[in-house]
Amino acid sequence: MAAVIAGAGLLQPDRATGATPAAAPPATAPDAHAVTYPLDCKGAAQTVTATAEGDLDGDARPETVAAVRCDAGSGTPPHAIYVLAQEAAPGARPRVVATLLDPAKRRTATTLTVRDRTVTASLLGYSSPSVPRYSPDLKQLAKWRWTGGTFRQELTDSTAGRV
């Protein structure tokens, strides 16, 4: 019996060092300036005018929302609003995963926020083709939320009105 006790004393587990395993680095939102957007600028440069970041789909990795327009030099070129995601693989580039505002809507985004998994943008527009493109006369608040695997635009007409 004494031999068993002595042997057990020699076979001890490794000593604890107090070190904890390294935590995975926090996910970072995609860089809005590292993307070529599907926006036809007819040779002009693309300009990112606003960005907002947040976890829109609940996967614990932040997305970036970017308001982008062509750098036209005059007037108020319309914006497009895109959602960017970053793959978890090392070296992966950010990519456009959704278009929230099509430039064909001829709206200009003045503010862009992400809060509580909802994208909110203040949009300026035009009441008729005769309104000069440098002087929008309509203001609208638009909201998009990830629901059922797609972005759904929430009712925004209640805030539409003259600027």
Q: Report helix, strand or coil for 2.
A: helix
Whether 11 is in a domain gets the answer no
Alpha helical stretches, state H, 11-156: none
What confidence tens digit (pLDDT) does each residue in 63-111 have? Answer: 999 999 999 877 678 899 999 999 878 888 899 999 999 999 989 999 9
- Cα(107)–Cα(119) distance, integer angstroms: 16
Residue 5 clears pLDDT 80, i.e. is over it: no
How does pLDDT run across 132-150, given as a tens digit for each residue? 878 889 999 999 999 988 9
Dist CA 137 CA 119 (whole Å): 23
Residue 7 lies in a domain: no
State the pTM of this model: 0.78
Domain enclosing residue 145, as ranges:
28-162
- Residue 55 belongs to some domain of the structure: yes
83: in domain: yes
Q: How many domains does the chain have?
A: 1
In a domain? residue 33: yes
Q: DSSP class of residue 92?
A: P
124 in a structural domain: yes
Rounded-to-10 torsion of CA 139, 153, 77, 163: 0
